[in-house]
Structure 1
Amino acid sequence: MKVISIILVAFLLAIQAQLWLGKGGLPRGVHLRAVLTQTQAENEQARVRNAQLEAELRDLREGLEMVEEKARFELGMIKPDEIFVQVRR
């Protein structure tokens, strides 16, 4: 009975050693959590930067459209491939 108890305790210690010190053990889990936290922070920064760039792009597009519209109506701008037709009432 004592031999079986010793063998079971040895197996338990071996399993615990793998859990705490092994390849997929606790130190690796802690390292992976740190990497995950850092990657999530970088992703959040990238999301914020992307949102800023999208807003700038939207402003530029709308701004150019407004400039073109103003040039067409107030200054009579015509693109090279367009034909200007003026209708008077």
Structure 2
Amino acid sequence: MKRFVLLLVVLLAILQYRLWFGDNNVPQYFQLEQQIKTQQNSNAKLVERNDILREEINDLRRGTGAIEERARNELGMVKDGETFYRIVGSTAAK
């Protein structure tokens, strides 16, 4: 009976060692879980960004309104006969 208990204790020790220090151990499992969550968050942000870019591309393909808006906002272009006024706000904190 003592040998059987000793055998069980040795087996338990071996299994515990493999669980905590062997290949695919518990700390490594939790680290991989954290990496998966981080990667999923990154992927979600990239999917959202891709959707925004896809919509922007579709707007540019569909009509001239989006092209005109980009030209006005990004390049500062104006139509013939228009006057461009830039209003600069106060930078001092109140």
TM range (shorter): 0.5 to 0.7
Matched, 1:16 2:32: no
TM-score by length of 2: 0.64
Q: Cα RMSD over matched residues?
A: 1.8
Alignment correspondent of 2:54: 54
2:55 is aligned with what amino acid? A
- Where in structure 1 are there 5+ consecutive unaligned residues? 68-89
2:16 is aligned with what amino acid? Q
Identity %: 32
| CA distance in structure 1 between the aligned counterparts of 2:35 and 2:23, rounded to whole angstroms | 17
- Where in structure 2 are there 5+ consecutive unaligned residues? 68-94
1:40 is aligned with what amino acid? Q
TM-score by length of 1: 0.67
| CA distance in structure 2 between the aligned counterparts of 1:8 and 1:22, rounded to whole angstroms | 19
Size of the aligned set, in residue pairs, is 66
The residue matched to 1:23 in structure 2 has which SS? coil
- Rg larger in structure: 1
